Amino acid sequence: MKNIFKSIVLILFFTALIGCENELENDPIGLLTIDQVDSDPSSITLESSVKSAYDPLKSTLNGIISGWKWTEGTVFRNDIILQDIASNDMNKKWSADGDQAWMDELSDFSFTSENQAFNGIWVYDYEGISRSNIAISLLTNAEVVEGAGMNEARKNQLLSEAYFLRAYYYFDLVNNFGDVPLVLSSPESFEEAFSLSVRASSDDIMTQINQDLTDAKTIAVNDKYPDAEEPWRASKGAIIALQAKVALFAEEWQTVLSLVSELDALGNYSLNTEYFDSFDVNLEFTDDEVIFAYDHRSNEIPTNDNGLRYLIGWGFFAPTDDFIASFEPNDPRLLYTTTANPDDKRSFKIIGSTTDMVDDGNRIFIRYADVLLWKSEALNETGDYNGAMEIVNQIRARARTSTTADGSIVPSGTLEDRPVSNDVDEIRNWIMLERRVELGFESHRFNDLKRWGKAKEVLSNLGRNFQDHNYLFPIPQRDIDKSGGTITQNPGY
């Protein structure tokens, strides 16, 4: 097992090279320590290697990088800044102040490569990749698996999850930064570690993402929850959904339709009757719509709660006027997304409750309403206008028949069905509008604007200083510096 020990040491080195510079002082990688790997790995070690790979998805404050490192952007996973604030759906706070001014720079596109938002997501994603690589290395080693006494079915499930997670982290990186270093295994030497500190093409990254998802799906079971005792684990449905999302971003419309049909054939997902059921802490892992979520919990050691609840309590995450105006009158989804009231700062969707400021609301990454809107988009782009509009109207019907957050009655005529249309541009616009209000504050908006080629038009019209080079964020300057310049910067920064 000494070769595995050497590889883990080098992974720690490489994570420090392209991630957080202080990680070398920590012995553990997640829940897996060098001592555990250097001895004969047990089934607990293999389980821990995969479980730890989920941790960079959580919103827990100081969840994977301790020490309140606001200057490094690692206090929490910051998708909400890179997606919701950058897209002008969200302001940093309800009242303007100088607290964490780096977030404001995302709002007005005044940032540089020194901005810690980019370092934060880079560190979280590469930490997830590092942990996934360790798990894959262990689980594809027949000697290790046999020595641990793990059966084939469990090994396959864990390996499927690790492939999925690596694909998820790389997909996030490529959408944020374009070309990024591609690291698939533990380097065997420091020279090899340095050689990996170069950017691979986004095409090569996407090829690897698709391969990982194919490998994950091949060994996954069809069950909605492959582990009934731990329903948060990535399922075959999550794998297929991410495959469909990858195809959507590549505008491979027929592939999107094929994969959504494959997802539907599992029979595991449908729209909930009530809009808020996907987010309600009392219904977690019992609803019909959530496909993949991170399982936040209270009162665990190490801490595993939803840290965004505390940020909300400190006045973070207020809606912009433009975001509020995007909702049609009396749309029940508005008050679930934001109270639009500076005296009551809650976002019920983020915290998971309309009555209490709970800290165990799940972070929803993929739900079926999102998938349906991918399908609607693909149908529209392939000429099935009626099919596309049927889905949009299905989403609107669910919204207008949902119970409201404040107990009011939804007036007749709210969110009426969109009319029949054969105009691809008109339908495309309706889909864009529906995605914004249906998925608000779920960290999808900026990626949507970019993949539609609408970011410059939309944000410039709102007075934001968006430039063409902002379709990619800058590579964190600290990582360019640590690489000695072998990691290059995106144009324009």
Q: CATH number for the domain including 428?
A: 1.25.40.390
pLDDT at residue 37, as a whole number? 55
- The verdict on residue 323 lying in a domain is yes
- The verdict on residue 18 lying in a domain is no
CA–CA dist 74, 450 (Å, integer): 25
pLDDT at residue 370, as a whole number? 98
- The verdict on residue 420 lying in a domain is yes
Range of the domain at 235: 222-452
pLDDT at residue 344, as a whole number? 81
Tokens of 69: 């490192």
Tokens of 453: 């080629």
pLDDT at residue 337, as a whole number? 97
Q: Which residues of the chain have pLDDT under 70?
A: 1-39, 188-191
- The verdict on residue 316 lying in a domain is yes
pTM to 2 decimals?
A: 0.93
Residue-wise pLDDT tens digits, 281-333: 999 999 999 999 999 999 999 999 999 999 999 999 999 999 999 999 999 99
Query: Residue for token digits 């998708």?
Result: 79
Q: Are 247 and 259 in contact (CB under 8 A)?
A: yes
pLDDT at residue 31, as a whole number? 43
pLDDT at residue 190, as a whole number? 65
Number of domains the chain is built from: 1
- The verdict on residue 13 lying in a domain is no
pLDDT at residue 185, as a whole number? 83
- The verdict on residue 179 lying in a domain is no
Q: What is the CA radius of gyration of the chain?
A: 22
Nearest to 78 by CA among 105, 63, 59: 59
pLDDT at residue 39, as a whole number? 58
- The verdict on residue 313 lying in a domain is yes
- The verdict on residue 414 lying in a domain is yes
Buried-exposed string 81-120: b where 16+ CB fall within 10 A, e elsewhere: bbbbbbbbbbbbbbeeeeebebbbbbbeeebebebbbbbb
